[in-house]
Amino acid sequence: MMMFNYSNELVEKNGIFFSEKKTGVSYPQEGNEDLFEIEEKSFWFNHRNNCILETVKKNNGKQELFDVGGGNGFVSKKLQENQIPTVLIEPGLTGCINAQKRGINNIICATLEDAQFYKNSISSIGLFDVIEHVEDDVFFLKSIHEKLMEDGLVYITVPAYKNLWSSDDIHAGHYRRYSLKELEKKLNLAEFKIVYSTYFFTVLPIPIFLFRTIPYWLGLNKKKKGVENHENDHKKKSGLISNLLNKVWENELTKIRKEKTMSFGGSCLVVARKINK
């Protein structure tokens, strides 16, 4: 894929494209390395990948998707394996190197702003657990609108419900959690029309509230979790619990394939189309 079709500010080195400008982001420096040890075995990352894939297949066809803030390329790999042309945009060098190890074909080490993509040049953009890391999310969504082609699509996942806020959000560099209504309103302000929206991870709000939010309210668990703690949170369950969860995940995927809306969950999933001025 020729990057000069999208920007003239990128320089290729060892198979990765770089921008000269380096803007900071609200994300832990060691975040990508920590997650690289977890993603493959994580029920959360794998189910989120499956939900994302269903929405992209439904709406995107074989158009290119730019996975902005895509970390170690875990989503990009899933899309690429399913013949969806994908470009990973990740400002962290560690994430880009990890994505290269995973076999991602197209990698840009930059923020969306620093890459300086041409206006109206990109057919679709994915923001998978990204905009909660952006202080001015409406301004950011407007910049996404500017880069998208006519009728371009944006795919978004974000953590749900401000009442589930905990120290995990703080350590992850989040500015907020969302309701679907709030996210849809902000997309409308940025001149997007909602194509499909739903909650997912329907069983997670209660355990998040009990084991993260309440301890946060009580002033417990202030220290950042280590990799082992994250592995325990994300590892796939076994036995009866595993069977029950697998049924829940499959039920959610079935609803997403049919574009049915789930009214409750630990994450939001939205597909929106650019409204042309």
C-alpha distances in Å from residue 160, one per residue of 145, 166, 178, 181, 265: 23, 12, 5, 11, 7
pLDDT tens across 79-122, in order?
999 999 999 999 999 999 999 999 999 999 999 999 999 999 99
pLDDT tens across 156-197, in order?
999 999 999 999 999 999 999 999 999 999 999 999 999 999
Residue 9: its pLDDT value, please? 86
Rounded to the nearest integer, the mean pLDDT of the chain is 92
Look up tokens 């049924």; give the residue.
247
pLDDT tens across 124-148, in order?
999 999 999 999 999 999 999 999 9
CA separation for the pair 142, 187 (Å, rounded): 8
- What average pLDDT score do residues 255-268 get? 97
- What average pLDDT score do residues 31-54 get? 93
- What average pLDDT score do residues 228-242 get? 64
Residue 240 has pLDDT above 90, yes or no: no
Q: Where are the domains of the chain?
A: 3-274
Q: Which of the four pLDDT bands, split at 50, 70 and 90, describes residue 232?
A: low
CA separation for the pair 208, 164 (Å, rounded): 7
- What average pLDDT score do residues 19-26 get? 84
Tell me what percent of the residues of the chain surpass a pLDDT of 70. Answer: 92
CA separation for the pair 67, 156 (Å, rounded): 10
Residue 29: its pLDDT value, please? 76
CA separation for the pair 181, 253 (Å, rounded): 22
Q: Which of the four pLDDT bands, split at 50, 70 and 90, describes residue 23?
A: confident
Residue 3: its pLDDT value, please? 60
Could you tell me the two tokens for 98? 């990890």
**Domain 3-274 belongs to what topology?**
Rossmann fold (3.40.50)
160-164 long-range contacts (CB < 8 A, ≥24 apart) are 160/199, 160/205, 160/265, 160/266, 160/267, 160/268, 161/205, 161/266, 163/209, 163/213, 164/205, 164/208, 164/209, 164/212, 164/213, 164/266
